Amino acid sequence: MTYKLLGANVSPFVRKCRAYMAEKGIAYDYEQVSPFAPPEGYKKISPLGKIPAFLDGDKALADSTAICIYLERCNPQPALYPGDHYQYARALWFEEYIDSGLIPIAGPQVFRPLVLAPMMSQQPVTKEGKAEVLKVVETAIHPMWEYLESELASNQFYVGNVLSIADLTVASGHISLRHAGVEPDAKRWPKLAAFLQRMYARPSFAALLAEESERWDKRQALAKI
Ligand SMILES: N[C@@H](CCC(=O)N[C@@H](CS)C(=O)NCC(=O)O)C(=O)O
C-alpha cells in the first residue's frame, strides 16, 4: 500500500513532511490540496481542515509532527528522531519552536503580505507594506534567529550533532521566508545562515526548492525588500 500525502507545496508543514520522506527514502503519492478549497470529505482525514494530511491505506492522520512520528515508527532507519530520551524531546521542542513560534509569524505577517497578496492582486507591495513587514522581521524574527544561532553553537545540526527532524523543520520553515526574500544575514547570524545553505543543498531540499522556485521566485521579485 502506497502512502499518500495531501497538501500544497507552499505550506512549510507539508514541506517538512516531504523533506522528511525524501531523507528517509520513503515513496509516496502526493495529492495537491488547498485548505481553502479542500475536496469533499477532507475533514474526515484532517478534522481541522489543515494541510498536510496523510493516508496509509485506510489509516488517516493529520498534523506534520504526528505524520512524521508515525512514519518514523513504521520506518525506523535512518533514524530522524533521536533515540536518547532528552534528545528526542529536544527534537520535538525545535519542531514546536518553528511550527508554533516562527511559522505563525513568518506565514501571515511576512509570506502573505510580501508574496501571496501581491500575487493575488498583481500589484507590487507598497512602501508602507514593506516597512510594516520589516518591523515584524526586526522585532519578531530577529530574536528567533538569535536563539537559533546560539542553539547551533559549533555544531552542524541542532540535536546531537546529527541530522534530525529538528533540522528539517528549521529549514522547512525558513524556505517560506526565503520565498519572501527574507533570510538571515550571514554577517550577523553566520552559523544559522551557513546551516540553512547546507540544508538547502541536500538533495531532499534541493528537489523541493527546484519544484517551488519555479512557482514562487517570480512572486518574490514583486516583494523584494
Ligand atoms: N500543526 C499543523 C499545522 C498545519 C497548518 O496550520 N497548515 C496550514 C497551511 S501552512 C493550514 O492548513 N491552514 C489552513 C487553516 O488554518 O485553515 C501541522 O504541523 O501540520
Residues 148-184 pLDDT 10s: 999 999 999 999 999 999 999 999 999 999 999 999 9
Which atom of ligand 1 is the closest one to the Cα of 12?
A: 10
Tens-digit pLDDT profile for residues 47-92: 999 999 999 999 999 999 999 999 999 999 999 999 999 999 999 9
The radius of gyration computed from the CA coordinates of the chain, to the nearest angstrom, equals 17
Domain that holds residue 34: 3-74
The three three-digit cell numbers of residue 11, written as one number: 505550506
Do 103 and 213 share a domain, yes or no? yes
- What does the pLDDT read at residue 219? 53
What strand order describes the sheet that includes 53-56?
28-32, 3-7, 53-56, 59-62
Do 102 and 179 share a domain, yes or no? yes
- What does the pLDDT read at residue 122? 87
Do 95 and 201 share a domain, yes or no? yes
Do 98 and 199 share a domain, yes or no? yes
Share of the chain above pLDDT 90, in %: 88
Indicate the helix (H) or strand (E) that contains 139.
none
pTM greater than the 0.85 cutoff: yes
Do 69 and 129 share a domain, yes or no? no
Task: Assess whether pLDDT exceeds 80 at residue 139.
Answer: yes
Rounded Cα distance between 192 and 185, Å, is 9
Quote the ligand 1 centre to 68 CA distance (angstroms).
Answer: 15
Do 103 and 32 share a domain, yes or no? no
Do 69 and 106 share a domain, yes or no? no
Do 64 and 104 share a domain, yes or no? no
Do 43 and 89 share a domain, yes or no? no
Which atom of ligand 1 is the closest one to the Cα of 50?
A: 12
pLDDT band at 221 (very low <50, low <70, confident <90, very high): very low
Find residue 56's DSSP bridge partners.
Answer: 3, 59
Ligand 1, atom 17, residue with closest C-alpha: 50
Do 162 and 89 share a domain, yes or no? yes
Q: Domain holding 187: CATH number? A: 1.20.1050.10
Q: What is the number of structural domains in the chain? A: 2
* Position 80 in a domain: no
Do 28 and 136 share a domain, yes or no? no
Q: What is the mean pLDDT of residues 124-134?
A: 93
* Position 79 in a domain: no
Instruction: Note if the bond before 38 is cis, omega within 30 degrees.
Output: no
